[in-house]
Structure 1
Amino acid sequence: MRSCYRLLAFSFCALVAPFSLADEFDAPDWRRYVQTPSGPAPLYTKVPGTPSRTAQPKKPGAPSTRKRIVARAHELIGYRYTWGGETEETGFDCSGLLVYLYRSVAQQRLPRTTSSMLAKKDAAIARHQLQPGDAVFFSHNGSRRASHVGLYIGNNRFIHAPRAGKTVRISSLEEPYWQRAYVAARSFSS
């Protein structure tokens, strides 16, 4: 009897599992992706048929603009990391992701590099003041000099383009690595 169960489980793994994506199991709609043909297109795109969130831009500090920036960032989860990238076609690097989000949703221009974003001292906020849509900065080498940025989305989570070979994803500020690497935050929506 056990050998029948083992044979059935092996058959399932060998025949069915290779054709299904992990995101198809118990994932919310905004986390489901379909692969695109090879070429300059993004590694993953949004599932066809899900509504797009492209409304007219409002004042950058408005709560609805912050929500739309965060919603658009969720739609970009799964796009590939590309150094210097700031479009859906090319992919994104960490600062390029924020530049794209603020430019396309809020019609607001941000500095292009992580260090120049961090240099905007008038936008500085404390960690306990973080709101969805704020920028969070990290140092990968242990110094106080920021080398990475992400978009805070609430509940101690942020969306970012981590590094080459990875895709845009959600990470938590509570993860030990990001706790150690956290440097500062900026609010560009006020």
Structure 2
Amino acid sequence: MKFLIIVLLSALLTACSSAPPEPSRGSSKHSLSNSAQTKSQLLQMHREWQGVPYRLGGNSKSGIDCSAFVLLTFQNQFGRQLPRTTEQQKNIGSSVSKSQLRAGDLVFFKTGWSTRHVGIYIGDSQFLHASTSQGVMISSLNNSYWKQKYWLARRP
């Protein structure tokens, strides 16, 4: 019983972190400097994945967590390979101030004592992410919940 409690607590504390999926072949680096094109590609990903439920450790349309959704979006839409976990993703690229966000930047949130959440900024104070309550969706950084939880942003 004690072991089960430790395992469950461990899963809760890591939130979006989980084991990496198989790496994709042939990923090449594409520029994310064209904000209009980047936003269009992110909205395409939203159309394809909207409503897919959140599942800790998931990386498919049967269920996906936030960091896997970010990884798959960058693989599928930009041919870029990102790390698998939120903890690893927060260390890539360069730091970006909230006022300088552009489409394709990663936005991070502290959603609990040790839990973290990641999404992809699409512009107009909106970001694409895999929400624990509503699955893959677009949310506003100005929403009272996300505004309070906002932590940092990175430009991959």
State whether TM-score is above 0.5.
yes
> Which secondary structure does the structure 2 equivalent of 1:183 belong to?
strand
1:36 aligns with: none
Given that residues 132 and 153 in structure 1 are in contact (C-alpha distance below 8 angstroms), is that contact kept between their aligned partners in structure 2? yes
Change (3 A) 1:132 1:146: farther
Where in structure 2 are there 5+ consecutive unaligned residues?
Answer: 1-27
Given that residues 45 and 77 in structure 2 are in contact (C-alpha distance below 8 angstroms), is that contact kept between their aligned partners in structure 1? no
Following superposition, the deviation at residue 62 of structure 1 comes to 4.3
> Which secondary structure does the structure 1 equivalent of 2:50 belong to?
coil
Cα distance in 1, alignment partners of residues 155 and 129 from structure 2: 16
What percent of counterpart residues are identical?
33
Is 2:36 the counterpart of 1:83? no
Following superposition, the deviation at residue 126 of structure 1 comes to 0.7
1:161 aligns with: 130
Following superposition, the deviation at residue 72 of structure 1 comes to 2.6
Is 2:88 the counterpart of 1:116? yes
More strand by share: 2
Where in structure 1 are there 5+ consecutive unaligned residues?
Answer: 1-56
Following superposition, the deviation at residue 69 of structure 1 comes to 3.3
Deviation digits for residues 158-178 of structure 1, max 9, x if unmatched?
Answer: 111111x53211111111111
Decide which of 93, 109, 133 is 1:138's aligned counterpart. Answer: 109
Which has the higher relative contact order, 1 or 2, with Cα contacts under 8 A spaced 6 or more apart? 2
> Which secondary structure does the structure 2 equivalent of 1:168 belong to?
strand
Cα distance in 1, alignment partners of residues 115 and 55 from structure 2: 19
Cα distance in 1, alignment partners of residues 76 and 60 from structure 2: 10
1:182 aligns with: 150
- TM-score normalised according to structure 1 size: 0.60
Following superposition, the deviation at residue 146 of structure 1 comes to 6.1
Given that residues 72 and 101 in structure 1 are in contact (C-alpha distance below 8 angstroms), is that contact kept between their aligned partners in structure 2? no
Cα RMSD, aligned residues only: 2.1
1:29 aligns with: none
Is 2:117 the counterpart of 1:148? yes
Structure of higher CA gyration radius: 1
Given that residues 59 and 65 in structure 1 are in contact (C-alpha distance below 8 angstroms), is that contact kept between their aligned partners in structure 2? no
> Which secondary structure does the structure 2 equivalent of 1:161 belong to?
strand
Decide which of 34, 46, 60 is 2:31's aligned counterpart. Answer: 60
Cα distance in 1, alignment partners of residues 107 and 118 from structure 2: 6
Is 2:60 the counterpart of 1:99? no
Deviation digits for residues 64-100 of structure 1, max 9, x if unmatched?
Answer: 6523431233212111112112233x32110111100
> Which secondary structure does the structure 1 equivalent of 2:131 belong to?
coil
Given that residues 118 and 146 in structure 1 are in contact (C-alpha distance below 8 angstroms), is that contact kept between their aligned partners in structure 2? no
Given that residues 39 and 123 in structure 2 are in contact (C-alpha distance below 8 angstroms), is that contact kept between their aligned partners in structure 1? no
Cα distance in 2, alignment partners of residues 99 and 156 from structure 1: 21
- TM-score normalised according to structure 2 size: 0.72
Deviation digits for residues 4-36 of structure 1, max 9, x if unmatched?
Answer: xxxxxxxxxxxxxxxxxxxxxxxxxxxxxxxxx
